[in-house]
Amino acid sequence: MIPITKPFLPPLEDYNEYLQGVWQRQWLTNMGPLASDLEMKLKDHLNLKHLLFVTNGTIALQIAIKALELKDEIITTPFSFVATTSSIVWEGCTPVFVDIDENSLNIDASKIEAAITDRTTAILATHVYGNPCDVLEIEKIAAKHNLKVIYDGAHAFGVQVHGKSIFEYGDISICSLHATKLYHSTEGGLIITKDPELLKKIAFMRNFGFSGTESFAELGINGKNSEFHAAMGLANMKYIKSIHKKRRELTELYDEKLENVKAFKPKWQNGANLNYAYYPIVFESETLMLKIKENLEKQDIFTRRYFYPALSNVLPYTKSIGMPITDDISKRVLCLPLFYDLTFEEVGLISRLILRIQNN
């Protein structure tokens, strides 16, 4: 059986080294020394001045919206994981969907201004599959209309664009460190902002708003993470380069073997590196995509329609609205297996089966 993904696990002895310290200290959570160490190491690795380690990417989004004190309407993409939209609604705001670009699959920056009203307070855009949005154009639009910008960079760990980390853009960026991600801490998330005062506010919010043992600075939530999750993040750090290298090689092999597939890959943003988080392809028709997906499953090879259906017409807590490009793309897109333990032979097998199914 070949799953769509499989979490990378470091050697057990690496993880156990960190756990021995946890047992000795008996400090299990509440931003212990391992969580603090992970924050420092991730700042160095990603070349960021400010970064906070939190429970998960969804909590990161919710805290970001709350920290920026957003109200009313937030412009967002219908082509993303549900947490992007649910976080907006959870925080009492209204998502306003803007269709995606048919090449990059990110929110179409040229359509954002038409969706702005006197109730718009922010733009929340997703770097889909780790592919950077048109951050420079979104920055111009936000400045012109005095809007805040949050980037959902759940997939974008390690991506740089225009010479700096993708997380440098926007008022706040978030990242997911979920077990399915290319780098993970089992469960976890990151909040990044360039504003030191905003970072301080978020740090209070992460810990119930406490500013001391008997005082409070902010309305807060339990957004902290545990030493066990931090231990996994620290144990995985030494393998980031080898994980990236293997995923790049697997991706390049897919590219070579699937040269004649009746599908296209999303166009990557100019000036940005690939992090090889996913291998999405958009088939020429939904019929062909379903034929391939179903036949691969008969061989115990599992893919994922990531993202289907479009968020703009499936959620029970938002008004359904047609998004022509998103509706079309979401029906045809399929992510193929991609993970560290996947073998080159398995990529060859998957590719041969896809071509054989396509041509039959």
Token output for 322: 């047609």
Structural class in CATH, domain 12-98+107-237? alpha beta
Summarize pLDDT for 323-359 with one digit per residue, the tens: 999 999 999 999 999 999 999 999 999 999 999 999 9
Task: Locate the DSSP E strands across 194-249.
Answer: 210-212, 215-216
What's the whole-number average pLDDT of the chain?
97
Question: How many angstroms separate the CA atoms of 195 and 163, rounded?
Answer: 20
pLDDT band of 165, cuts 50, 70, 90: very high
Rounded Cα distance between 349 and 300, Å, is: 12
What are 129-146's pLDDT values in tens digits? Answer: 999 999 999 999 999 999
By C-alpha distance, which of 126, 122, 124, 138 is closest to 79? 126
Expressed in percent and rounded to 5, the helix, strand and coil fractions of the chain are 40, 15, 40
pTM of the predicted structure, to 2 decimals: 0.97
pLDDT of residue 92: 98
- The alpha carbon of residue 244 and the mean position of all alpha carbons in its chain are separated, in whole angstroms, by 16
**Res 208 pLDDT > 90:** yes
Inform me whether the pLDDT recorded for 360 exceeds 90: no
Phi and psi, residue 279, nearest 5°: -125, 85
Task: Please state, in angstroms and rounded to a whole number, the distance separating the CA atoms of residues 26 and 299.
Answer: 47
Domain ranges of the chain: 12-98+107-237, 240-359
The fraction of the chain above a pLDDT of 90, given in percent, is 100
With bands split at pLDDT 50, 70 and 90, how would you rate the model's confidence at 253? very high
Distances (CA, A) of 34 to 19, 85, 174, 280: 10, 32, 20, 35
The continuous run of DSSP H or E covering 124 comes out as strand 120-126
- For residue 353, the model assigns a pLDDT of 98
CATH of domain 240-359: 3.90.1150.10
Reported confidence tier of residue 260, pLDDT bands at 50, 70, 90: very high
143 C-beta neighbours (distance < 10 Å), count: 10
